Amino acid sequence: MKTSDQIIEEWLVINCQAGDRKAFELLVKRWNPKMFGRVYYTTKDAVASKDIVQEAWITIIKKIKTLRDPRAFQGWSLRIATTLAIDWIRSNQVNRKREAIRELVQAEFAEKSLGPKEETLISLKKAIDELPPEQRTVIQMFYQENLSILTISGILDLPTGTIKSRLFRGREYLKKMLENKLYQDEKE
C-alpha cells in the first residue's frame, strides 16, 4: 500500500513531466537535502556538493520526461547525483589526496585528547574515508541511509551481486583497519 508521501511524490513527478514549474520546485524542496547529503558524503566538499546537486537538478529537469515510472524517481535522481559526484571525485584525485593528508594531521592532533571509544570512532571514520569511492558509497548507503541492497542496486544501476561484493570487501577492509588500530594501541 502506498503512503501519502509516495502518492504526493508520484503526483509531483507526473506534473513535472507535464511541465508544471511549481511541481518541480516542490520536488526540489523535498529532495534537495537528501541529494546534497548523498553528494557531500561522497565528495567531502560542501561547495562542490552544491554545484554537483545543482548540475544534477539541471539534468533531472532535462530528462524527467524520459522517466517512465514516477515511482522510480528516488533511485533515478539519486543515481544521477551519485554519478556526477563520482565523476567529480575522479577529476579531483590530487586535490583530495592533499586534503586527506591535512585532515589526517588535524585528526591525529585532536585524537590525543580523546578517550578509547572516541578514538575507535575516529579510526572507523578514517578507515571509511580510505575506502575506494565505490565501496565507500555502498557502505554509506547501506549503513547510514539504511537502504536495501536492491535499492542501492537500482540507484547505482549495478547488479545486486556487485553491491554485495562491494559491501563485503568494504567490511573486510574496515575490519582489518580496526584490528590493526587495536593491535597498535595494545603495543603502546
- Report pLDDT for 164: 92
Distances (CA, A) of 156 to 105, 152, 183: 33, 6, 36
Residues 6+ apart with CB under 8 A from 52: 39, 43, 81, 84, 85, 88
- The CATH-assigned architecture of domain 97-188 is Orthogonal Bundle (1.10)
Residues of the chain with CATH 1.10.1740.10: 1-91
d(CA 82, CA 90): 12
The three cell numbers of residue 132 are 575506494
Average pLDDT in the 152-176 region?
89
CATH number at 1-91: 1.10.1740.10
Share of the chain above pLDDT 90, in %: 35
38-66 per-position pLDDT tens digit: 999 888 889 999 999 999 999 999 999 99
Answer whether 0.75 is exceeded by the pTM.
no
Cell digits for 169? Answer: 570487501
pLDDT digits (tens, 9 = 90+) for 89-142: 888 776 656 676 667 766 665 555 555 566 667 777 888 888 888 888 898 888
Residues of the chain with CATH 1.10.10.10: 97-188
Element (H, E) at 118: helix 116-130
The residue type of 100 is: A
- Residue 16 backbone phi and psi in degrees, to 5: -60, -40
Average pLDDT over residues 171-180: 81
